[in-house]
Chain A
Amino acid sequence: MGSTLRKSQANRKIVSIANRGAPKLREGQREAAAETSQPIASVREKQIGGHERALKAHKEADNPQKTMEVNGLTPVPDSYDYDLIVIGGGSGGLAAAKEAAKYEKKVMVLDFVTPTPQGSSWGLGGTCVNVGCIPKKLMHQAALLGQALQDSRKFGWQFTEEVKHNWMTMAESVQNYIGSLNWGYRVALRDKKVTYENAYGEFVGPHTVKATNKKGVEKLYTAERFIIATGERPRYLGIPGDKEYCISSDDLFSLPYCPGRTLVVGASYVALECAGFLAGLGLDVTVMVRSILLRGFDQDMANRIGEYMTEHGVKFIRQFVPIKVERVEEGTPGVLKVTAKSTTGDQIIEGTYNTVLLAIGRDPCTRRIGLGKAGVIINEKTGKIPVNDEEQTNVPYIHAIGDILQDKLELTPVAIQAGRLLVRRLYAGATTKCDYVNVPTTVFTPLEYGACGYSEETAVEKFGEENIEVYHSYFWPLEWTVPSRDNNKCYAKIICNIQDNERVIGFHVLGPNAGEITQGFAAAIKCGLTKEQLDNTVGIHPVCAEVFTTLSVTKRSGESIATCLMEFSQHGFSSPKVIKLVGKANKEQGFTISHHRRAMAEAVKEDWDLLHYT
């Protein structure tokens, strides 16, 4: 890391050379400049020196007219330190900064991670890279590999019976990889000549931010434009013992010991994903849920996820909320006692766990970045920032992207797309806006869930139940047949708008590789996919995704999508009638899957007549 520091100092030198007009303008002077009429030079070496004028205008920033003048209607004085300052070096912020640098803008990124109550902290790159998607998916993969080890025996692989998981090996590998990404981001910024400061940015006035580094050293920077991309951090319960003893997803991925018996509080996708992989690694996991699973997602799918997790060893405590967490024993991990209260009555329960992971939601980091001083309005209740369809806040020169936006999606690729397109509009004359419609997403629970478009509930609400048609089917991944894994869990569902040529408005899949499957269908939905086109597309055999080309049972019909038959649907034999008939036959025969298998084996030995059971 020593070399990183040296290199970033070198980088700063380049910046000050570029600042040739006022080469010795140091921090103190910069502040002085803000208050006196000492001219500040621009990067472009045009000594305009209008800084005071600009600031004066902005001191009167309540007057939007003045702000407008400074931002475009009158020539902008070339007097800011930077063309663009991005506050927050996460997926969105970095994408925007790098894109702006492409257009030869002078760009600064301020990124600072406030340590968690447990003291966890991390490098450049934001939530996704450090404490979100990346470590989450890697640990999910570790859990999937645990399942693969079990399957592999059925496929002929032999190794000793006892296979244990070592948390530290995994955590270290994951952290090493993240470390390489952090480093990669710094190098990328340097290559693109974006100034990066590991400092906390907050507005102290119009066009001006204060950057405070780890040592408490403060510097002031001005910029023509700003992008706020500070993201969110996990919420705490506000009960005795929460910050002292509980961890959040911000701590979990770098935990220096195996969490042991774990209570996950919450039913967000973060909660279910973490609970899922911890259970997959062999830990005893309980999820405490206040009301419903995966609020905002299709509830039919959410409940199926819950069911699958229950069957795979995750315990659920429903309609309870913790009211107190106490430490019984110190240690790594120690022992914690959790007291919880029913949400429907007065019942109190207690339980002891090694680790309590809070995943009850996330709050935007918008309340302590001086937005008031810059005049940016936030939603007081949620802390989210309302923006127009061009990611512009109420203060025209301040933009915002990513998870902090009100009524937008909290997804890395969305933040990246929004950031890039915003910068292209600002600096490259582009007009394309970020399209927040039909954005696909995937929840990496043990059985992955991919979705794009409307949930069934919202589709009903928006179009009316009579105007939508829901097609659905179970499917049995071929890879699951030999190890006899659950044959009635993987599920495919599409929602079509009857009044619009059965256009596909919702896509939902529960099964392995749901993310890989969903991506292409999301592209097709973007191209206006209809049910007819789905039916006319030839499947790829044998993969899970092909089930979508043979969907024929509507939910409305109430016809069975009997499980013993799922393997045939993969061969294109999923007509409702066949499914119904054989489903019925299966039921009448009291067929379970093992019955089914036995019958199959017998049938091939015996004659055809043996099958005349109907």
Chain B
Amino acid sequence: MHQAALLGSAIKDAQHYGWNISQPVHHTWSVMAQGVQNYVKSLNWGHRVQLQEKKVKYFNIKGSFSDPHTVRGLTKAGKEIVVTADNIVIATGGRPKYPMHVAGALEYGITSDDLFWLKKSPGKTLVVGASYVSLECAGFLTGIGLDTTVMMRSIPLRGFDQQMASLVTEHMESYGTKFLKRCFPTKVEKLENDRLQVTWKNADLDTEETDSFNTVMWAVGRAPDTKTLNLETVGVKTNSETGKIIVDANEATSVPHIYAVGDITEGRPELTPTAIAAGKLLAQRLFGQSSELMDYDNVPTTVFTPLEYGCVGLSEEAAVQRHGSDNIEVYHAYYKPLEFTVAERDATQCYMKMVCLREREQRILGLHFIGPNAGEVIQGFALGIKCGATYPQMMKTVGIHPTCAEEVTKLHITKRSGLDATVTGC
């Protein structure tokens, strides 16, 4: 759906590049949704085929522990299935949270679990929350032409580099997404015309405000799906605050033969490829193929907001906290993607920074990149950082011209110098 929004921008760009497109240009939600859903279904099928090929038994049941080696559950048809195993891996993931204290939240609101499966356009939408889920969804809804508002209580993208997070939201504002900052909802009511009336508090002005929307989406975080697993009976410990399962470096829970991977585990990044890698490595260790542990450091990730944000390693804040601001050097640059010039697109928020140790070798601690194709750009550099890349090594790498990624190899302005970090010319 992010791609659908990007294509909306492409249609605008195309006109600057000589393509004659007569107005008006419309977007039809159902066509997009159908396309996306078909593809997702094909993946579901693919996974089933894979399990089949691998001779893995698959049960479509909601399982829970009855003792440390036994899992039971009911099929859709109501038949009870009981399975026993030597080792058990819990990988039940997380589901979006609802703010239960907000009246009407559950009744009238939806979450990202629903959004992608909507048959009709959500129309004027309020997205509550400032997580990456919130910003990504609000971004593509804006991009396909919907009136979209994000309501956030405090900071955007908690846990991510905050300078980058501000650039991301700043860009979204110029892109057309509305923001209600320092606001939190108090109730949702259904009006006679089927619209949803949302009331919220503005913490800055200490006022109560209200507006009506077609759709209200909660993106206030995800909660681990542990409650129904009956973990207490078997003695698997969870963090009482987050509900997540506590695991060691080996992914083992407090019960040695029960393991957990993915979003359900305490203190791990909630990312698909990390879960995949952790699961694979766990299986290899369990069956004597390897002793390698999952390395959760330097995991790259990308937020697919309208202007994408990719990063790997430490945020500037974390680097300062860990090493002290005197011991880190931050190289940064604003740049303009070549394709933006002819398209007359604003590149104010296209920015990158590299956080390095200041000592002689200048090992790279973190790399942050905002711009088109951020994920593609970051992946290779993530490897470099894994290989212990230093700032001088990065500078010795010849750029590929003309790309956005080449700007990384040209970073030379330090934040400390206070010099203008705007890149000019080739």
Contact = CB atoms under 8 A, between A and B. Distances in A.
18 contacts: A142-B17, A155-B32, A156-B4, A156-B35, A188-B424, A482-B3, A513-B376, A520-B384, A522-B380, A526-B396, A527-B387, A539-B273, A540-B302, A540-B382, A565-B46, A582-B50, A608-B58, A608-B60
Interface string B81-103: 00000000000000000000000
- Interface centre among B44, B301, B405, by most A CB within 10 Å? B405
Q: 10 tightest A-B contacts by CB? A: A520-B380, A170-B18, A519-B405, A156-B32, A545-B379, A521-B380, A543-B375, A520-B381, A600-B42, A148-B10
Given A519-B409, A599-B45, A149 B377 contact: no
A572 B388 CA distance: 25
Contacts of B60: 608
B383 A534 contact: yes
A537 B38 CA distance: 30
A91 interface: yes
A375 interface: no
Interface in A436-466: 439-442, 450
Interface in A575-614: 578, 581-582, 585, 596-597, 599-601, 603-604, 608, 611-612, 614
Contact of B48 (A478, A517, A528, A611): A611
Contacts of B302: 540, 543
A554 to B, nearest CB: 19
Interface stretch (B19-27, B148-156, B159-167, B220-228): B19-27
Given A156-B31, A181-B426, A527-B389, A413 B398 contact: yes
A300 B344 CA distance: 38
B79 interface: no
A152 B387 contact: no
B373 A516 contact: yes
B13 A601 contact: no
A603 B383 contact: no
Contact of A145 (B13, B388, B396): B13
Interface in B23-53: 23-33, 35-36, 38-39, 41-50, 52-53
B276 A571 contact: yes
Nearest to A543: B375
A237 interface: no
B382 A520 contact: yes
Nearest to A517: B376
Contact of A516 (B46, B377, B386): B377
Nearest to A143: B17
Contacts of B377: 516-517, 519-520
A133 interface: yes
A474 to B, nearest CB: 15
Nearest to B50: A573
Interface stretch (B124-132, B178-186, B325-333, B334-342): B334-342
A169 interface: yes
Interface in B382-423: 382-384, 386-389, 393-394, 396-406, 408-409
Contact of A597 (B4, B38, B299, B338): B38
Given A157-B8, A515-B405, A540-B375, A523 B380 contact: yes
Contacts of B33: 156
Contacts of A568: 43, 46-47, 50
A543 B11 contact: no
A544 B20 contact: no
A541 interface: yes
A174 B18 CA distance: 10
A600 B44 CA distance: 8
Given A181-B425, A181-B426, 12 more contacts: A148-B10, A149-B14, A158-B28, A432-B396, A517-B377, A518-B400, A524-B386, A537-B386, A540-B310, A540-B379, A545-B380, A546-B273
A149 B17 contact: no
A517 B35 contact: no
Contacts of A483: 35
B44 A604 contact: yes
A512 to B, nearest CB: 8
A152 B7 contact: yes
Contacts of A204: none
Contacts of A18: none
A156 B30 contact: yes
Interface in A155-213: 155-160, 163-171, 173-174, 177, 181, 184-185, 188
A159 B3 contact: no
Contact of B276 (A170, A515, A572, A601): A572
Contacts of B41: 600-601, 604
A159 B25 contact: yes
Nearest to A164: B20
Contacts of A159: 11, 21-26
B124 to A, nearest CB: 18
Contact of A541 (B19, B272, B295, B338): B272
B271 interface: yes
B144 interface: yes
Contacts of A168: 18
B304 to A, nearest CB: 9
A149 B10 CA distance: 7
B380 to A, nearest CB: 2
A332 B32 CA distance: 42
A479 B3 contact: yes
B284 to A, nearest CB: 12
Given A173-B342, A545-B375, A600-B46, A518 B380 contact: yes
A543 B18 contact: no
A545 B383 CA distance: 11
Nearest to A140: B339
Nearest to A132: B401
Contacts of B17: 138, 141-142, 145, 169-170, 173
A412 interface: yes
A138 B292 CA distance: 46
Interface in A237-276: none
A536 B408 CA distance: 23
A175 to B, nearest CB: 10
Contacts of B69: none
Contacts of A545: 375-376, 379-380
Contact of A157 (B11, B42, B425): B11
Interface in A529-565: 529, 533-534, 536-541, 543-546, 548-549, 565
B10 A517 contact: no
A142 B383 CA distance: 32
Contact of A146 (B14, B277, B382): B14
